[in-house]
Amino acid sequence: MNQRYVYVLALLLTVVGLAVFFYKWQVLGFPVTENQEKPVWTIEAAVKFDSGPGSIKVQLHVPTLTPGFRMLNENSVSRGYGFSLNYGSGGREAQWAIRRADGEQTIYYRISVYEDDSVDQSDTTPPFPPLPVINEPLKTAVDVLVSEVRDHSADTASFTTELLRRVNDPSPDTNVELLMTGVDSSADFVGVVTTILAAARIPARMVRGFPLAGRQRSADLVAWLEVHDGDQWLYFNPVTGEERLPDRFFVWWRGNERIVNVEGGSNVDVRFAIQENHLDAIAIAETQSAERDAFAVDFSLYSLPIQTQAVYSVLLMIPIGALIMVILRNFVGIDAFGTFMPVLIALAFRETKLLWGVILFTTLVALGLSIRFLLDRLRLLLVPRLGAVLIVVVILMLIISLMSHRLGLETGLSVALFPMVIIAMTIERMSVVWEERGAFDAMRAGAGSLVVAVVAYVFMGMSWLEHLIFTFPELLLLVLSMVIVAGRYTGYRLSELRRFRALSTE
Amino acid sequence: MILARPKQLHDIGVLGLNERNADYIARLNPRRLYPLVDDKVLTKELALKAGMAVPDLYGVIAHQGEVRKFADIVRDRESFVIKPARGSGGDGIFVVIGRGKRKRDNYRLSSGLFVSEGEILHHISNTVSGQYSLAGQRDHALIEYCVHFEATFAEVSYQGVPDIRVIVYRGYPVMAMVRLPTRASDGKANLHQGAVGAGVDMSTGETLTGVLGNDVVDEHPDTGALIAGLQIPMWDFILESSARGYDVTGLGYLGVDMVIDADRGPLILEMNARPGLNIQIANNTGLRERIERIEALYDPSANALQRARVARREFPARIQADLFKTA
């Protein structure tokens, strides 16, 4: 019965710990390995124009629906302008306004995005477009082209492909030639194609954006064709007719409108620059989950002040040390001072690094012990004697630090407040055992403590483990459940197999 | 063989520390009962109330201010023992067996050394401030009757007093050993400090071979005398007293330590809620087997005498006893 409770509890802790862990890992995108960086692109639109005499109003299309990308942040830099974001027919529009401005004006809009495959085109299904009003003789040309293409196609996708094949034909027929007169940019070209598709009652629109790749000081907008087949939007390369988006294509805006509209200004020019950065995946995960109002993030350790974070990154490793202690005690059977003294010693090693820590520790304990025995001759009471040992340890540390500084060994100086107390306590414990159980037992327990401390130090110092626990503190529940299960281990310890070996030789 | 195979140990019924702690101590020894055995003054009172024989208590020094009462307490005593009330594993025990002929404030310890009264007072101060207590908490120092031990084990003891440890499971004695001091153990009857433990045939009270550290020994390392085959006097009484230890403390997994005084017979020294496991090596038998036997014939209404009889009947030593009879 009792036993079952233990396992149920352990299982419960494991399940909760793992569930939160997987949620944070898979859904919120917290990285399991350290220093995971994601590329983040910052795209800057610079709108330049000469101001006119009156008030100025600038409207710029800004990204709304961006399949494959998620926005990290956006901002605008424009001195003196009032700024607002509105929804227009083609998506979001940034609007700047000012009563008066002199000379050449530049307004910047910046957006930072990162790749996220889970962001999908969540646009609504559009109604069938109204028949475009086209004047003769173009109307006939469109009608003929549409009926011919329709004969050679089965559905929306194949219709679009066929149409694009025909309009891109190096030796176009007369209808196409007629329709394409005066088309001198890819945007115009896609515009004409959407009109033809509208005449065939197929919802279509122009998409403009950039294939994001590295750093581009001056990026050109690429026009793409978007066609709705009744279920979803399909993307077509307007030149080749291929049904796909370019790699890492970032959609800026949709529709046939111009990207910017400046009232009260002239010589309008829009330039784009793209900058690729690498940002810590944790920062991205946090921004992202903050948007989703995820509970987990409010309690993330990364929201603490940096100094507190540093303390916790150490503190959170103590359970790992405790687990090591439990294993070495109850499964291996190593003798050590105190229950968790070795874990504290391991913590002290963090400040000094292992080799130097072990040397320093053994030296200090050995020196402290000899002085402790000298003090013993004075027949001091327990507490004053402990106090005296502590003072002697402080003085010894001071001497060692000064000596190592003289010798040019800087690590000697890194001894901190905390190890001092631990060393003083170890000396006292060891001397009591020494007196009562003899040198052998004291040495054995001392060596055992050191072994446990070193093993604990190695595990507690694993930076990937530290990162994992710090990012996913819920994993401590797993450690807890392991410790609880270990608490029900009633088998032999490794040391007992040696201890009872006389019994098994029958 | 460096290591035993766990399967083999399990088959013999050897109890491991983890199993002892998790399955027996945690289940049968409620923490609230620990003070009854952790504090030797309390144990003594309880044992006296239950009509068990204990060494006389001369005095208790409860705090630093009382340390100077020491001289008064021992004024008329030639020999006595000073021990911490909450000590463990025989730590911190001073056995004074005599005084200086000219200077009465010089005390002779069981090791033969003379110490001054100052040194003894320092030791008492340390004891009172908690040096030997389990968690370093404040403690009392007991000054009690020094046992004049009976001659049975004189040949196999090096100074000090040999004592008898009986493991009592739910009131039934299940295993016993005699702990013999050695030079290495400084006269203390503690296996951790190098004393020899000799198994005991529960049905006869005769000693079996011994264990030193983790190894089986036939002879006492200092005297060279054979350990096995010694008859413990008043064995029935010892079994019954130890069985009564359960009635007094309520601890289901109990170690009862007794000494045999030349004049007063077996006396209860102390009881232990976490008795060690080396007794299994001394008896060349696992504890679990015997515990399971007791579980099978457990009778809640049996009195101490009846339970002691069960132990005599059920747990004769197997192979060793035969060996010695034929030899």
> Which CATH number belongs to the domain containing residue A49 in this structure?
2.60.40
Render the burial of A98-127: b for 16+ CB within 10 Å, e for the rest: beebeeebebebbbbbbebeebeeeeeeee
pLDDT digit string (tens) for chain A, length 506 residues: 567 888 898 899 999 999 988 888 887 777 777 666 778 888 888 888 888 888 888 888 888 877 888 887 888 887 788 888 888 777 888 888 888 888 888 888 888 888 877 776 556 667 777 777 777 777 888 888 888 888 888 888 888 888 888 888 777 787 777 777 777 787 888 888 888 888 888 888 888 888 887 777 778 888 888 888 878 888 888 888 888 888 888 888 888 788 888 888 888 888 888 887 777 776 777 776 666 655 555 566 776 666 777 778 888 888 999 999 999 988 888 888 877 788 888 888 877 778 878 888 888 888 888 887 787 777 677 677 778 877 887 888 788 777 777 776 655 555 555 567 777 778 878 877 776 666 777 888 889 989 999 999 999 888 888 888 888 888 999 999 999 888 888 888 888 888 888 776 65
Q: Any bridge partners for residue B212, and if so which?
A: B196, B215
Question: What are the chain A neighbours of B287 within 8 Å (beta carbons)?
Answer: none
Contact in structure between B40 and B133 (CB atoms under 8 Å): no
Q: Which of B1, B3, B281 should we substitute to test contact with A (largest number of A Cβ atoms within 10 Å)?
A: B3
Q: What is the model's pLDDT at position B39?
A: 84
Work out how many domains chain A is built from and give that number. Answer: 3
CATH code, domain carrying B14: 3.30.470.20
Give the residue among A81, A268, A498, A194 at the shortest CA–CA distance from B4.
Answer: A498
Give the integer Cα–Cα distance in Å for A72 and A27.
17
Banded pLDDT at B235 (limits 50, 70, 90): very high
Q: How far away is chain A from the Cα of B13, in angstroms, using its nearest Cα?
A: 10
Is residue B321 predicted with pLDDT exceeding 50? no
Please tell me whether residues A144 and A68 are part of one structural domain: no
Give the integer Cα–Cα distance in Å for B91 and A444.
18
Please tell me whether residues B20 and B63 are part of one structural domain: no
Residue B145 Cα to chain centre, angstroms: 16
Please tell me whether residues A350 and A251 are part of one structural domain: no
What region does A242 belong to: left with phi over 0, alpha with psi -120 to 50, or beta?
A: beta
Contact in structure between A60 and A47 (CB atoms under 8 Å): yes
Q: Report the residue from A490, A494, A502 with minimal CB separation from B19.
A: A490
Q: Which residues contact B75 (CB under 8 A, 6 or more apart)?
A: none
Please tell me whether residues A337 and A389 are part of one structural domain: yes
Q: What is the model's pLDDT at position A2?
A: 66
Q: What is the model's pLDDT at position B324?
A: 45
Domain of residue B133, residue span: 57-144
Is B41 inside any structural domain?
Answer: no
Please tell me whether residues B134 and B198 are part of one structural domain: no
B325 membership: H or E segment, kind and range: helix B319-326
Please tell me whether residues A86 and A163 are part of one structural domain: no
B228 membership: H or E segment, kind and range: none
Work out how many domains chain B is built from and give that number. Answer: 2
Question: What are the chain A neighbours of B289 within 8 Å (beta carbons)?
Answer: none
Give the SS3 label for residue A335. coil
What secondary structure does DSSP assign to A120-145, as a single string? ---PPPPPPPPPP---TTHHHHHHHH
Sign of CA dihedral B131, B135, B138, B144: negative
Give the integer Cα–Cα distance in Å for B180 and B191.
9
A contact residues 327-346, partner B, Cβ 8 Å cutoff: 330, 333
Interchain proximity B9–A503, CB inside 8 Å: yes
Give the SS3 label for residue A47. strand
Tokens 């290591």: give the residue: B3
Interchain proximity A492–B215, CB inside 8 Å: no
Is A312 inside any structural domain?
Answer: no
Is B1 inside any structural domain?
Answer: no
Outline where A182-255 has alpha helix (H): 186-199
What region does B118 belong to: left with phi over 0, alpha with psi -120 to 50, or beta?
A: alpha
Q: Any bridge partners for residue B165, and if so which?
A: B177, B257
Give the residue among B206, B290, B254, B319 at the shortest CA–CA distance from B14.
Answer: B290
Please tell me whether residues B109 and B184 are part of one structural domain: no
Interchain proximity A503–B92, CB inside 8 Å: no
Q: Cα-atom radius of gyration of chain B, to the nearest Å?
A: 20
Domain boundary among B123, B144, B165: B144
Domain boundary among B144, B169, B200: B144
Domain of residue A198, residue span: 138-257
Q: What is the model's pLDDT at position B201?
A: 92
Interchain proximity B9–A491, CB inside 8 Å: no
Is B175 inside any structural domain?
Answer: yes
Sheet with A82-88, edge to edge strand ranges? A82-88, A91-98, A56-61, A260-263
Please tell me whether residues B164 and B273 are part of one structural domain: yes
Q: Which residues contact B46 (CB under 8 A, 6 or more apart)?
A: B36, B248, B249
Question: What are the chain B neighbours of A381 within 8 Å (beta carbons)?
Answer: 64, 125-126, 129
Is A162 inside any structural domain?
Answer: yes
Q: A-B interface: how many C-beta pairs under 8 angstroms? A: 101
Please tell me whether residues A279 and A325 are part of one structural domain: no
Contact in structure between A373 and A431 (CB atoms under 8 Å): yes
Banded pLDDT at B171 (limits 50, 70, 90): very high
Q: Cα-atom radius of gyration of chain A, to the nearest Å?
A: 36
Please tell me whether residues A328 and A454 are part of one structural domain: yes
Please tell me whether residues A326 and A448 are part of one structural domain: yes
Give the integer Cα–Cα distance in Å for A450 and A358.
8
pLDDT higher at A13 or B188: A13
Contact in structure between A488 and A6 (CB atoms under 8 Å): yes
Sign of CA dihedral B224, B228, B229, B231: positive
A263 membership: H or E segment, kind and range: strand A260-263
What distances in angstroms separate CA A159 from CA A128, A152, A171, B1, one per listed residue? Answer: 16, 8, 20, 84
A378 touches B at CB < 8 Å: no
Question: What are the chain B neighbours of A333 within 8 Å (beta carbons)?
Answer: 17
Total-model pTM: 0.65
Give the integer Cα–Cα distance in Å for B35 and B29.
11
Please tell me whether residues B100 and B126 are part of one structural domain: yes
Question: What are the chain B neighbours of A436 within 8 Å (beta carbons)?
Answer: 89, 91-92, 132
Give the integer Cα–Cα distance in Å for B279 and B287.
9
Interchain proximity B118–A379, CB inside 8 Å: yes
Q: Any bridge partners for residue B81, and if so which?
A: B95, B144
Sign of CA dihedral B78, B79, B84, B85: negative
Indicate the length of chain A as a whole number. Answer: 506
Is A58 inside any structural domain?
Answer: yes
**Percent of chain B with pLDDT strictly greater than 70:** 94
Q: How far away is chain B from the Cα of A488, in angstroms, using its nearest Cα?
A: 7
Q: Which of A378, A490, A493, A505 should we substitute to test contact with B (largest number of B Cβ atoms within 10 Å)?
A: A490
Please tell me whether residues B102 and B14 are part of one structural domain: no
Q: Which residues contact A362 (CB under 8 A, 6 or more apart)?
A: A450
Is residue B325 predicted with pLDDT exceeding 50? no
What distances in angstroms separate CA A118 from CA A5, A42, A68, A246, one per listed residue? Answer: 41, 20, 7, 18
Q: How far away is chain A from the Cα of B263, in angstroms, using its nearest Cα?
A: 31
Interchain proximity B284–A503, CB inside 8 Å: yes
From A64-73, A267-276, B117-126, B172-181, the region with the lowest mean pLDDT: A64-73
Banded pLDDT at B320 (limits 50, 70, 90): very low
Q: Hey, what's the torsion of the CAs at A293, A295, A300, A306, to 10 degrees?
A: 50
Interchain proximity B22–A491, CB inside 8 Å: no
Q: What is the model's pLDDT at position B326?
A: 40
Is A72 inside any structural domain?
Answer: yes
Q: How buried is residue B69: exposed, middle or buried, by Cβ count under 10 Å (0-12/13-18/19+)? A: middle
Domain boundary among B99, B129, B144: B144
* Residue B197 dihedral angles phi and psi, to the nearest 5°: -105, 130
Contact in structure between B131 and A432 (CB atoms under 8 Å): yes
A contact residues 244-283, partner B, Cβ 8 Å cutoff: none
Please tell me whether residues B97 and B238 are part of one structural domain: no
Give the integer Cα–Cα distance in Å for B193 and B276.
13
- pLDDT tens for residues B49-75? 888 889 989 999 988 888 888 888 888
What distances in angstroms separate CA A37 from CA A114, A464, B65, one per listed residue? Answer: 11, 15, 68
Kindly state the tokens that stand for B160: 């000090």
Interchain proximity B192–A441, CB inside 8 Å: yes
Residues of chain B whose beta carbon is less than 8 angstroms from a beta carbon of chain A are 1-6, 8-10, 12, 14, 16-19, 22-23, 64, 89, 91-92, 118-119, 122, 125-126, 129-132, 192-194, 211, 214-216, 277-278, 280-281, 284, 286
Is residue B188 predicted with pLDDT exceeding 80? no
